[in-house]
């Protein structure tokens, strides 16, 4: 029986190593490579045989969604499983429309990932943990964001600088910068562009 060849794309080395350990425990699976972003995925699949690509959604250079679109267009036979920290309804609707085969929340990966891989290789989709959607308000609560942090997210999404946000909220610029760091840590985001996307996905703007 041929092994299923898996490529992992994630810019967090700890996450990548953990996924490798889990997948390597399955005789039917072979991790044929690990890369740091979507651009490296496209280079790798052009040179090697790959059955499944496991994509982190937030990566530098080329993010998971952009990479998934290119893969589906150029290599429609490759199965794609997206890993994400959150899955608001509009986000899931978008990845289903693209044709992504599966999606897992990052805190549910592990043994579930092997199940997802076998499922998509059998021609089915894997969205098990995402079937019951909450409202945007309920989903936001799970991130334990404070009211002030939500204010900052909205103003960042409107394009305001830290000083402009400070002036509008009557707090110091240093306090705004602290809120921004806390927001990115809680949401596992890397920059303001991703904060803006989070605001859009959760209908904060």
pTM for the predicted model, two decimal places:
0.66
Please report where in the chains the tokens 């602290």 appear, as a residue: 178
Rounded distance between C-alpha atoms, residue 183 and residue 177, angstroms: 10
Q: Which helix (H) or strand (E) holds 141?
A: helix 136-141
- Nearest to residue 50, comparing CAs of 32, 68, 72, 34? 32
Q: For every one of its 205 residues, what pLDDT tens digit does the chain have, with 9 covering 90 and above? A: 589 999 999 988 888 888 888 898 899 999 999 999 999 999 999 999 999 999 988 888 898 889 999 999 999 999 999 988 766 666 777 788 888 999 888 766 677 899 999 999 999 988 877 654 444 555 556 667 788 888 898 898 888 999 999 998 889 999 999 999 988 888 888 888 888 887 776 666 6
Backbone torsions φ then ψ of 5, nearest 5 degrees: -90, 120
**Positive or negative: CA dihedral 58, 63, 66, 70:** negative
Largest pairwise CA distance in the chain: 65
Q: What is the pLDDT of residues 143-168, one digit of tens each?
A: 677 888 888 988 988 889 999 999 98
Please report where in the chains the tokens 């993010």 appear, as a residue: 63
Neighbouring C-alpha atoms within 13 Å toward the C-beta of 193: 6
Burial class (CB in 10 A: 0-12, 13-18, 19+), 13: exposed
The Cα angle at residue 41 between residues 109 and 117, in degrees rounded to 5 = 35
What's 126's DSSP letter? B
Q: What is the pLDDT of residues 128-138, one digit of tens each?
A: 776 544 445 55
- The residues near 37 (Cβ < 8 Å, ≥ 6 apart) are 9, 11, 59, 60, 61, 62, 63, 67
Q: What is the side-by-side order of every strand in the sheet holding 79-84?
A: 29-35, 4-9, 52-56, 79-84, 102-105
């Amino acid at each position: 029986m041929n092994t299923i060849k898996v490529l992992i794309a994630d810019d967090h080395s700890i996450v990548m190593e953990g996924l490798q350990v889990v997948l390597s425990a399955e005789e039917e699976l072979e991790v044929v490579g690990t890369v740091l972003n979507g651009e490296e995925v496209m280079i790798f699949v052009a040179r090697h045989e790959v059955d499944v690509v496991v994509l982190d959604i937030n990566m530098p250079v080329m993010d998971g969604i952009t990479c998934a679109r290119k893969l589906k267009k150029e290599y429609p036979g490759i199965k794609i499983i997206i890993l994400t920290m959150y899955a608001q309804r509009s986000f899931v609707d978008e990845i289903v429309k693209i044709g992504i085969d599966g999606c897992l929340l990052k805190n549910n990966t592990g043994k579930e990932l092997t199940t997802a891989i076998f499922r998509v290789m059998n021609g089915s989709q894997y969205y098990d943990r995402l079937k019951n959607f909450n409202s945007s308000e309920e989903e936001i609560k799970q991130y334990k964001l404070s009211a002030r942090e939500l204010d900052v997210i909205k103003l960042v999404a409107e394009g305001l600088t830290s000083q402009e946000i400070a002036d509008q909220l009557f707090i110091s610029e240093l306090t705004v910068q602290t809120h921004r760091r806390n927001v990115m840590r809680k949401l596992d985001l890397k920059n303001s562009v991703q904060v803006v996307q989070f605001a859009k996905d959760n209908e904060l703007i």
